[in-house]
Chain A
Amino acid sequence: MSTLANLKPGQTGVIQAIHSEQALYYRLAAMGFRIGKTIEVVRSARFSGPLHVRVGSTDIMLRRNEARHIELVAA
């Protein structure tokens, strides 16, 4: 299964599912993470730091832990 955490900077994917507890699910949804949306990893911080991603019109940073909950299919 491919997740957002596997994506390298510059790669994109389409959100297929968000496997997370409710609080994070709502939060991600409110920030524009919806099934079928294209997501791009803009860059990742050094020392396995957070990811900088772009969904639609919004730039967001999230930790790899959170990124693992987002399942993707190839764009």
Chain B
Amino acid sequence: MRRIALLGMPNTGKSTFFNRITGASARVGNWPGVTIDLMGAKILMGGEMVEVVDLPGIYDLHGFSDDEQVVRHFLENNAIDLALIILNSCQLDRQLSLALQLKQLNLPCLLLLNMADEAKRFGVTVDAAKMSEQLGLPVMLMSAKYGEGYKPAFDAIGHALRNSQTVQPEQMHEKLAAEDAIEQKMEQVLKSAVQIPPRLSDDLTTKIDRVMLHPWLGLPIFFGVMYLLFQAIFLLSKPLQDVINWALLGFKDAALIPLLSTAPTWASGLLVDGIYNGVGTVAAFVPIIVLFFLFMAIVEDTGYLSRAAFLMDALMARMGLDGRSFVMLLLGFGCNVPALMGTRVMRSRALRLLTMMVIPLSLCSARLQVFLFLSAALFSPKAAPLVLFSLYLMSFATAFLTAIIFKRRLVSHEPFVLEMPPYRFPTLRQMVLRGWHEVRHFLNRASKFIVIGVVLVWVLTNFPAGVAPGSSATWAGQIGAWMAPILDPVGINNQLAIALIFGFVAKEIVIGSLAVIYGMEGAALSQHMAGSLDWVQAYSFMLFTLIYTPCLSTIATLKSESKSLRYVAMALAWSLGLAWVVSFVFYQSARALGY
């Protein structure tokens, strides 16, 4: 099959073009020689199937950033029939160098000058015919966002592909050596074919920046924006999640249970309580992920993400992170899973890994449910909000502590230089496609891992055969008893230890599992727990629940995003250890003070 590679600098609308040409058929996949996932799609072009691969945006073929390495390795390991080079028409003065570098590799190239709409607004005029003649490459003007000029560009791509010769990776290997004449050639082409006004007339962006990046108002506005985003995601996803849960429950009661009525108890238990409920837990994440990425697409594509980074960088730099890490950390307070996936905007791997270490400590909405229940059961109505507030503070404190400790291990060598693109508004299509891709990615990667984990916990809490599920006679109960020497010093009893094992799957089921463990529900459960635990034990349990591990979906996402089991093991060991130390210090000092 013939292959087209998409190349270009960041912020040129490369991915928008990719989405337009591939529609919803794109998939995340692995390619030889490249360690990260790339988006690829097979499309029909001129009667044959063609593979299109979206390479990371790069500034320079000879740079040393992670993305530039990825592109070089891709070219050195994969045969290519056509390189589509996408440049921003407004910034040809500095982007043309990339096109010339690629041309010098003797790759069959086609130049797409994107953002023709924005160029018009800035008063930039481009003579495509003249540029094509000078460069010896086909040059097309278009707007990937609005589709203007797309049809002729598509036809030109088909035409170029028919006439091109496949370039084998071995040929590329030799040619990817440094070259110098590019600068001169670029000046020459620019002088004759492009006219740029001395100062671009984008008043609007300057005006918006004056408010958004205001020395005093900038940060309050940023927190306001984050708060609104956060609220919007949860306001909108709650009813959707309810509908999904309702449908799953309905299917279970109406079809699954009658269908399995003749099956042995263990088989129906495994299928219904284990796998089906586990899959349901995963499905409940879908609305949150779609909405999160809809809003992330707005924040990112409008150009606000780099502004947020500008505002928060001073503080985060001291912790080895950058401004974007903070945005993800905040969004993690909704749900850790999409926040982890969102770190893909970071280019340096070390920075990404450090940010991904920190995000699971954000007090997500599922943990909030546990804390709401326990603080209402064990604290006075006056004290309960303070308890919750202190847990949020702990969440930030542990996140910052983690960053400070691990910043020496995960040092980002990449200089922090970030472009601040003019404000733009993404189209609905861009946002919807983004949400859809991310959900599919999550389901593909996380579902197997989660099903295995769910089955494991089900086995632990239901076996050996014949014991009451969730009781202290189960294997989970035995583990709880066996862990007693470790968990007693932090005030966590055997029943709570079983709940922690359930909580490993998802925090949503912790309260439900307590109901199973104690054999009572709702108000009766609250009363019983208030009677059998004191507040020091309960708070220690909450601290432990906050820190020890977010949930199976988060761990699965950590694994699929980092692609390193060692890293996941390190992250888990750290959070488990930290949870114990924090709970221990709290529990023992509270007891020592006589509480």
Q: Which residues of A contact B (CB under 8 A)?
A: 20, 22-24, 26-32, 42-43, 45-50, 52, 56-63, 65-66
Contacts and interface: CB of A to CB of B under 8 A. Distances in A.
Given A27-B65, A30-B59, A50 B416 contact: yes
A31 B94 contact: yes
A52 B310 contact: yes
B93 A26 contact: no
B306 to A, nearest CB: 7
Interface residues of B, number: 39
B117 interface: no
B428 interface: no
A57 B200 contact: yes
10 contacts: A23-B65, A26-B62, A27-B63, A30-B59, A31-B59, A45-B213, A49-B313, A56-B93, A57-B94, A60-B419
A30 B94 contact: yes
A54 to B, nearest CB: 9
B196 interface: yes
B420 interface: yes
B60 A60 contact: no
Interface of B: 9, 59-60, 62-65, 90-91, 93-94, 97-98, 122, 196, 200, 205, 209, 213, 215, 219, 306, 309-311, 313-315, 317, 413-422
Nearest to B419: A60
A24 B415 contact: yes
Contact of B63 (A23, A48, A65): A23
B429 to A, nearest CB: 27
B488 to A, nearest CB: 45
A59 B122 CA distance: 14
A59 B208 CA distance: 14
A56 B122 CA distance: 13
Given A45-B314, A46-B215, A57-B196, A27 B417 contact: yes
A50 B59 contact: no
Given A47-B315, A49-B311, A63-B313, 5 more contacts: A24-B415, A52-B209, A57-B90, A58-B91, A61-B310
Contacts of B64: 22-23, 26
A60 B213 contact: no
A52 B315 CA distance: 16
